[in-house]
Structure 1
Amino acid sequence: MFTGIVQGIATVEKVTAAPGLSTLVIRLPDNKAAGITIGASVAINGTCLTVTRQDNNDLYFDAMQETLQCTTLGDLQAGHEINFERAARIGDEIGGHLLSGHIHTTATIAEIVKTENNVTLWFEVPAAWTKYIFTKGYIAINGASLTIGEVEGNRFNVHLIPETLRATTFGTASEGQRVNIEIDSQTQTIVDTLARLGYDQPPTAR
C-alpha cells in the first residue's frame, strides 16, 4: 500500500524494451534508496512496481505489456523525471489517502492556469470514469494524493500549492501530457454498490 505522499522526484536512466516487457532503470535521489531490497514495492508515477535489481541509487523494474498499455510508463524515456513513493510500513503516518498502486486509467492535462501563489491543473478523463470523480473527493494523479476541485463533464481540476509543485513533477507539467489516475477505492465501492442496487437509474414516471 501507498499513502499518496510523493517522497521525491527520480530520473529515468534507461529503458530497455524486450518482448512483452520493458526494464526501467530509475535513479533515486541520494539517500532515498537506503534499505530497499530486491522484491520491494515502489510506486513509479503511481504505478506499483517491484525492484528486480539495485545498483547504489539505481533501481531496476520490469513493467509487463499490460502495465505499459494501461499506464503512462510506456511513454517514459531516458531523462524523464517521475514521482516515486516507497511502500508504506505499519505505523507510517497516512498524510494522503490509501492507494494500491494499481492504475485505473489515464488522463490528459487539458489546461494549466497559473496565478500568483498556486497553479490549477485541468484534466480530461475517459467518460466511463467520471462517475467516480466528485468535487472535494480524493484522487491520485501520478501517485500524488490530491483533492478534486471543480468537475465539469469529463473534466476536473486540482489546485496545487508551491510545495506540491516543488516536491513533484507537476511543477514542470505541460498541456497535453498524459498522467496516471487511481480512483479512490472507497468512492468506487460506494458508487458501484449504489449502482448494483439500482440507485444510479433515473426515477420512473408514475
Structure 2
Amino acid sequence: MNTKSMAMGLLMVLALTNASLAQQTNSTMSSGSTSKVGNESMSAFDSQNKKGAAAVAAVTPNSAKLSTADQDLMMQVAKGGMMQLEASRLAVQNATNDQVKALAQAEVDEQTGLSAKLQEIASAKGVTLPTSPDAETQAVLTKLQSATGMSFDRLYLTESGVKGHEKLDSVMSMVESKATDPSMKNLAKAAHPLVKTHLKVARQIMNAM
C-alpha cells in the first residue's frame, strides 16, 4: 500500500471513530435527559412522589363542621390544586422537554390524589367544592393553549411550576398554622413536602433551560 492510500485509510478510521464517539455522546445526553428531573434522579423523584401520595391517601376525614375561616382555606387549596392539575394536563400533552413532561406527569398524579382526598373531606363535612376553573386559572390555561415548543415549556414552568407552587406553598403553610380542623391540618402536612419538592425541581429545570 502506498503512502497516499495509507493516509486515506487513516482518515477514514479517524472519521468513523469520531462518528462513533459523537453517537455515544448523543446517546448519553439523550438518556440523561430522562434519567433526571432537575437535580433529582428519576428514581429519587419517583420515590418522593410515591411517598407524598401515600401520605395524602392516609389522611382520615372527620365529619365536624368547618369554621368559615377553614372553609375559605379549603377553597384556596381546591382552586390552587385545580389550576395545577389542568395546566399540568396540558403540559403532559404539549411539553417538548422530557424533564418538563416528567414534572407535569408527577403534578397530575399529585393533584389528582390531593383533589380526591379534598373532595372526601369536603363531602364528610357537607361542603361543596368548585367544579370548574376560576377566572385566574382560565387565563393561565388560555395562555398555555396558545403557546408551543420551548415557549410552552417555559410558560408552564413559570405559571405552574414556580408561581403555582409558590401559591400552594403559601396556602399549605396557612392551613398548617391557622386551620383548626384536624382533617385540613393533616392534609396540609401530608401534601406540603411534595409541593416544596415540585417547586424546587421546577426552579432547577428552569435554571437549566
Whether these two folds match at TM > 0.5 is no
Give the number of the structure with larger relative contact order, counting CA–CA contacts within 8 Å between residues 6 or more apart.
2
TM-score (norm 1): 0.26
Between Structure 1 and Structure 2, whose CA radius of gyration is higher? 2
Higher fraction of helix:
2
TM-score (norm 2): 0.25
Higher fraction of strand:
1
